[in-house]
Amino acid sequence: MQRLSGLFILAVIGMVLSLPSEAGERWHVGLHRMTLADPLDQQPMQALAFYPATGRAHWSRVEGYRVEAGFEAPIAMGRFPLLMLSHGNTGTPLALHDLATALARKGFVVVAVVHPGDNAQDHSRLGTLSNLYGRPLQISAAISATLNDRLLAPYVNAEQVGVIGYSAGGETALILSGARPELSRLRRYCEERPLDADACKMRGQLIADRDDLLPAADSRIKALLLMAPLSLMFGRHALAGVKVPALIYSGDRDQLLAIDKNAAALARKLPRSPDYRLLAGAGHFIFMAPCDEAQRLHMTVLCTDAEGVDRASIHRSLQSEAVLFFSQTLGRADRTGWRTADH
């Protein structure tokens, strides 16, 4: 009996030592590939999960990005808040890999969906109603899949769910939290600003490829982090259903989205006043991870910032503020995995 008690104590000590303390210790990061069914057509849909991991630190080369995470690394003990990440039009969640790994190191599970038909490899749904209304359904499906995933399910707290949305991912996040797009606002905007090549390629008309889809909110979502959000289709009435806290970032030199019709208007109209951060001199792509030499050579437009703008410094601040925001709005995971409120 005495020997069993000693073994139990050693096991508990080992588990405690594997957990970061509130003093700022960090986990390493694991990376897990997920495949689930696209709710629009039941075809395979991909997602990447970043999670707190134990063992040695690793890095992986994923689609040209150097990601500070190791595939299928041992997951840390506990139950962690879940953050869903929605990328921009024709983008990839890997462009935000540094934010995802920074959050995972601080005790969050981050699941990033690759939106079918609207990603770097496949543009087939761009400009369609199925993309506008399908993206939120894909995030909801990924939440459910995560809560049933063989690796992640025991370590995720279903009561602590937030969404990170970049560019069109911001629009997706808003629909998930209760916003209802007004398509007429896009048409009016494009009549006023027909030279906006990004928003008005179709002259303000979305392709009506599906007549069975509507905006669908997900009550599991409790907080939003929005970066350069596409939000011009939401007036004050359309945003009335959004009651969750939000942290919004935009750059005052965004070369794709008109600030006055998107982030700034959104910050004024949300029924619950958000924390809005306007970054001086920053463009639309400032929220993508700092580029390495190869990326600067092949993705010059995405990697080049205005003179005097320090992307690496901005990302360090963004990461620490994102950790604080989600810790305050969702709570943290403690050593036993139960929720502890910080507010």
What do you get for the CA distance between the two ends of the chain, in Å? Answer: 43
Question: Is the pLDDT confidence value at 11 over 70?
Answer: no
> Nearest 5°: phi and psi at 44?
-60, 135
Q: What is the mean pLDDT of residues 163-167?
A: 98
- pLDDT at residue number 77: 93
d(CA 66, CA 292): 9
Give residue 334's pLDDT band: very low, low, confident or very high (50, 70, 90).
low
Structural domains of the chain, with CATH:
25-340 (3.40.50.1820)
> Nearest 5°: phi and psi at 65?
-100, 135
Sign of CA dihedral 216, 219, 220, 226: positive
| Percent of all residues in the chain with a pLDDT value above 70, rounded to a whole number | 90
d(CA 89, CA 76): 33
Q: What is the mean pLDDT of residues 290-299?
A: 92
d(CA 71, CA 9): 31
Encoded tokens for 40:
């629009």
d(CA 32, CA 30): 7
Query: Which of the pair, 333 or 64, is modelled with greater confidence?
Result: 64
Amino acid at 96: L
In the block, tokens 């979305």 appear at 206
Query: Which of the pair, 119 or 333, is modelled with greater confidence?
Result: 119
Strands 28-37, 70-71: pairing is parallel
The number of helices, as runs of H, and strands, as runs of E, in the chain is 9, 13
CB 239 within 8 A of CB 174: yes
- pLDDT at residue number 336: 55
Question: Is the pLDDT confidence value at 102 over 80?
Answer: yes
Helix axes 129-146, 168-176, angle to 10 degrees: 70
Sign of CA dihedral 180, 168, 109, 150: positive
d(CA 79, CA 82): 9
pTM, two decimals, is 0.90
- pLDDT at residue number 198: 74
Give the angle 22-28-34 at the CA atoms, nearest 5°.
120
320 by DSSP, 3-state: which? helix
Query: Which of the pair, 140 or 336, is modelled with greater confidence?
Result: 140
Query: Which of the pair, 4 or 236, is modelled with greater confidence?
Result: 236
Sign of CA dihedral 109, 113, 119, 120: positive
> Nearest 5°: phi and psi at 222?
-120, -10
d(CA 252, CA 260): 10
d(CA 7, CA 125): 57
d(CA 37, CA 112): 15
Q: What is the mean pLDDT of residues 65-76?
A: 96
d(CA 25, CA 340): 18
- pLDDT at residue number 201: 77
